[in-house]
Amino acid sequence: MESATSLRIIRRFMAFTMAAAIGLLSDGPRAQNVVPLDALNTLHDEVLLGWDGRDLFYRSIPRTSDTVKAGDWFLSPGQEYSATPARGWASFEACQPMNLRAWSAADWPGMGEIQHVTIDADRGVLILSALQPEGDFDLFMAQRSGSTWSEPMPLAGLNTPADEVFPNFDNGALLFASNGHPGQGGFDVYCSERRSHYAKCKGLGHGVNTAGDELAAVPAGVHADHGFYVSAVRMGGRGVDLYWVGAMADEGADWKKELAVEVVYRRAPVESALFEVRDRAGALVVRRSTDGQGRLVLGALALDAALEVQVSMKSGRAIPDGAICHVYERCGRADCGGAHWPGWRRVRSYRIEGGAAFVFDLLPLDALERWPRPSDEDAARWQSDVPTCLVKFATAEYILRSSAEQQLKQWLDGLNWTTQSGHFEVRGYTDAQGEVVRNQVLSEQRAEQTARMLQRAGVQPSQIQWSGHGVASEGANEADRRRVEVRWVAAAD
C-alpha cells in the first residue's frame, strides 16, 4: 500500500513539474491553457512573424545543426506561410505559402543585416532587429520623416550584449524576445511601453515565458486574456514550434459581451428570424427567434471562442434577399447607443444574400476593437455590392496622371454618391519591387494623393478614409499591383 501511495505522489509531483515547465500553471489567479498549433507545426522550426487579426504569418526553417546555433540562425532562410483560424484561437485551416520581400539597409550606413522589422503605421514608427559588429542582434527605431524614414537609432534602454530579436507591435507597445534581460531562462518575451519611450521593459506574463526559449509573441486578441501566439522551444517539443497560450476562464469570470441582433428588410423588421449560436465544439448555445421589432437579445457570450451564428426563418421559407442583420453590443448606460435602440451600440452589419440560411461568426467583433478597418475578406462587406474604381500608377510614381484623374471623375459622376449616406475608402498598393519600407510609404502617398483628388471633386474630408497597404497580394502582373482602390461604402439600412 505504501508503494502504491508513494507512486501516486511521485506521479502527481512529476505532472505538476511538467505543467509548470510548459506554462500550464501560473502565479496569477488564472491557469494557462497551452495548445501547440499541430496543424502548422512540422519537424522544421516554425518561427512566428506576425498576426494581423485575420491571418497568422510564420516562417518554416529546415532544422539542421546550424539552426541551433546563436547569431546567424536568426537569418536562416525558409518558406513563409500564412494561416487562417478555423475555429477559436488554436484551430487553423491549411497554411498557404507566401513570399515576403527581403529587407535592404542600403540607405542606413553601418547597419548590419536586418533580422526582423515591425511597423506601427498609425504612429509612424518602425522598429527593427539588426546584426551588430560584435555578433549580437540589437533593436533600432526609425520614425516617419515626410515621405521617408529617419535613420534608425539604437534603443539603448532595451539592448544588451546578448540578442534582442523579433520585434512586434501591440497597439503601440513593443514586444520582443531577448536572452540578455533577467527572465525565466533562455529567451523570454518582453514588453516595452510607448510611454516609457521604449527605455524600459518587463517580462511578458500570462504563462508565455517559461524555462525554455520563447522567441516571439503577438497578442491573439484585443485583451491579454485572449492569449498570445508564441513561437518557442518547449518541453517535449521538436525544436521551435508555434503555440497558443490562453487563460482558462475562472468560474464566474466576466469575459463576456452582451450582444443583440436585429433583422430588417427594406427598413421593415423581420419577425421570427431564427438564430442558432454554436460554440467551437458545435454545441448549441442559443436558439431563439426575433420579435415583432425584428430584435433578439442573445445574452452574454464569451468571444474568446469562435461562436458560429446561423440565421434562418422559423417557418422554413427563404430569407428575404437583401435583408440586413445588425449586431449590437450593450454599451453600459441606458442613455448610450442611438435613439433607434437606447442602451445598444451597433458594431457590425451583414447583408444577407437570401437562401435557406445565412452563417457568420462573432469572433471578428473582438478584433474590430483593435483593427478599426475590416480586412479585404471581411464578411460584413459583400464586395460584389461595393462600387469600386481602380486607379493605376507607373513605377515609383504617386501623382495621378491626367488620364487617371479623368477616369476617377467619370466614375464619381456615374455613382450618384451625393444623394446617399456613406464614405469613400481609398487603399493604396505597390508592386513587389523595391524595399518594404519604401513600398509602404509609396502606397500611403498614392492613397493620399487620390484622396486629395476626391476632395477637389467635392467630397468632404470626413467622407474619405485612406490608407496604404504596401505590396498588393493580388494582381495578374506587377502593373496591376501598382494601384489605388477607391470604394464607395454606403451606410447600412
Q: What pTM does this model have?
A: 0.48
Domain boundary among 229, 247, 265: 247
pLDDT digits (tens, 9 = 90+) for 394-415: 998 999 998 899 999 999 988 8
Burial class (CB in 10 A: 0-12, 13-18, 19+), 411: middle
Classify 421 as helix, strand or coil.
Answer: coil
Same domain, 296 and 400: no
How far does CA 290 lie from the centroid of its chain?
32
CATH at residue 431: 3.30.1330.60
Same domain, 76 and 223: yes
Residues of 161-199 as b/e, b for ≥16 C-beta within 10 angstroms?
A: eebbbbbbbbeebbbbbbbbbebeebbbbbbbeeeeebe
Q: Rounded to whole angstroms, how far apart are CA atoms 370 and 349?
A: 18
Same domain, 181 and 288: no
| Amino acid 304: pLDDT | 52
Q: What CA dihedral angle connects 432, 437, 440 and 442, to 10 degrees?
A: -90
Residue 381 confidence class, pLDDT cut points 50, 70, 90? very low
Residue 349: phi and psi, rounded to 5, are -135, 140
Residue 365 confidence class, pLDDT cut points 50, 70, 90? low
Q: CA–CA distance from 404 to each of 4, 450, 481 (Å)? A: 82, 10, 15
Residue 294 pLDDT greater than 90, yes or no: yes
Answer whether residue 6 is part of any domain.
Answer: no
Answer whether residue 306 is part of any domain.
Answer: yes
Written as one letter, the residue type at 220 is: A
Answer whether residue 12 is part of any domain.
Answer: no
Same domain, 354 and 401: no
Same domain, 73 and 209: yes
Most confident of 286-295, 326-335, 351-360: 286-295
Answer whether residue 45 is part of any domain.
Answer: yes
Answer whether residue 14 is part of any domain.
Answer: no
Same domain, 281 and 421: no
Q: What percent of the chain has pLDDT over 70?
A: 75
Residue 373: phi and psi, rounded to 5, are -100, 120
Answer whether residue 16 is part of any domain.
Answer: no
Q: In the chain, how many domains are there?
A: 3
Same domain, 203 and 56: yes
Domain boundary among 217, 247, 277: 247
Answer whether residue 8 is part of any domain.
Answer: no
Answer whether residue 20 is part of any domain.
Answer: no
Most confident of 233-237, 261-265, 299-303: 261-265
Same domain, 349 and 452: no
What residues make up the domain containing 74? 26-247
Q: Rounded to whole angstroms, how far apart are CA atoms 68 and 213?
A: 12
Residue 140 confidence class, pLDDT cut points 50, 70, 90? very high
Same domain, 295 and 219: no
CATH at residue 300: 2.60.40
Same domain, 201 and 269: no
DSSP state, 235? T
Same domain, 237 and 269: no
Give the residue from 320, 272, 312 showing the smallest Cα distance to 296.
272
Same domain, 46 and 149: yes
